[in-house]
Structure 1
Amino acid sequence: MPIAHYITHPQVQIDASIPVPDWELSNIGRARAFAMLNQRWVGSIRRIVSSGERKAIETAEILATHLRLAVEVRELMHENDRSATGFLPPAEFEAVADQFFANPHVSVRGWERAIDAQRRIVSEVEAALAAKGDDDVAFVGHGGVGTLLLLHHSAREISRDADQPAGGGNCFAFDIGAQRLIHGWLPIDRQHCA
């Protein structure tokens, strides 16, 4: 049973003067990405597919170097498009993110609609899976669209109830053939079953 692991980049260096897609991993995020390499589930991965955002690519490259694999970049795996607002202070961001998940058919403050972001990430993941083999694969991306993908594989409606724990650096896994969730969000730097 080939497994897909969806991994979110861990903590980033927040800088309001830099566009969010260009943010890099913080020292804590980088340390957590390296700690991920010691987990049993990592050894089965034979393919790595990443969002084109810097923080995702940095996470994917740490994994790829360890496994001696190339990173495939799929630009459409990016986080939900929030360019209409750019950086928002944490409290304001959380409030808008709540609205994003609560109103999936509405563009909240100009953000990409949740339903559109979900269609995009599901389509990109399915296209990547259709393109090559039946090996275990790691998708490296972001919490918002990752949550939308998890909800799709759980056959659940869009809501923030399934959002990853704060800080990023989590993963969920699904059975590629059966298209069913194996486990929900778990920290990347702790042992788990898949």
Structure 2
Amino acid sequence: MPDIALIRHSISQPVPGVSAHTWELTDLGVQRCAALADALRPYALSRLATSDEPKAVTTAETLQTHLNIAAPLIIEPAFRETRRESAAYFDNLGLFRSAIREAMKDAEHVIFGEEAFNAARVRFTTALDALIAAHPGESLGVVTHGTIMAMVLTHWTGVDAYSTWAALEMPAFAVVSGPGRHLVEFKPALDVP
């Protein structure tokens, strides 16, 4: 069975008062995509899909170039982060982490933003199943976001969602394989300066 790589976007530039869904990559974030591509190269990804958020699209486009992937990039809104347009910007990282932890602990209810975290996970995995069905036999990469990635990995592997999310840097990736989605590699941080 081909591999599926879940890829967290590269380093984004926070903009206070502006929805995180619209943030772009920093210059360093674009540069880190080269190291990310090198780390993903052994999986011979034949196609990339991405959420429609700018930071994810730029990550995917840059990866596509570095990996010489000829297939057209698939932009799929269902691969977005948990919906949080109304969520406040947190200057305090500790308060932000606490809000995410609470939303993960009660993932069936809307605690942070406009979407329960489990509903976001179902949205994502439904779109991923459709992508896999549309491209059978291909190793696929999906550029997405930290919270949704942690929720999906928790569902597939039983890892703790919050610990997984807290470990993820930008960029990061996890590769799963087989119908049971067993974890092949989890790279929460790249070995770059």
TM-score interval, smaller chain: 0.7 to 0.9
CA distance in 2, matches of 1:132, 1:40: 19
Partner of 1:132: 135
Structure 2, unaligned runs of 5 or more: none
Q: Normalization by structure 2: what TM-score?
A: 0.87
Offset, 1:96: 0.7
Partner of 1:142: 145
Runs of 4+ in 1 over 6 A off after TM superposition: none
CA distance in 1, matches of 2:41, 2:30: 19
Contact 1:48 1:71 in 2 (8 A): yes
Contact 2:25 2:58 in 1 (8 A): yes
**One-letter amino acid matched to 1:14:** P
Pair 1:8 & 2:8 matched:
yes
CA RMSD of aligned residues (A): 2.1
**Secondary structure of 1:63's partner?**
helix
**One-letter amino acid matched to 1:123:** T
Contact 1:33 1:188 in 2 (8 A): no
Identity of aligned residues (%): 21
CA distance in 2, matches of 1:54, 1:96: 24
Structure 1, unaligned runs of 5 or more: none
Offset, 1:188: 4.6
**One-letter amino acid matched to 2:61:** E
CA distance in 1, matches of 2:56, 2:5: 14
Q: 1:140 to 1:107 in 2, by over 3 A?
A: same
Deviates further, 105-114 or 56-65? 105-114
Partner of 1:51: 51
Deviates further, 16-25 or 2-11? 16-25
Give deviations 1:67-90, integer Å, cap 9, x for gaps. 143210111110001112242323
Q: Normalization by structure 1: what TM-score?
A: 0.87
**One-letter amino acid matched to 2:172:** N
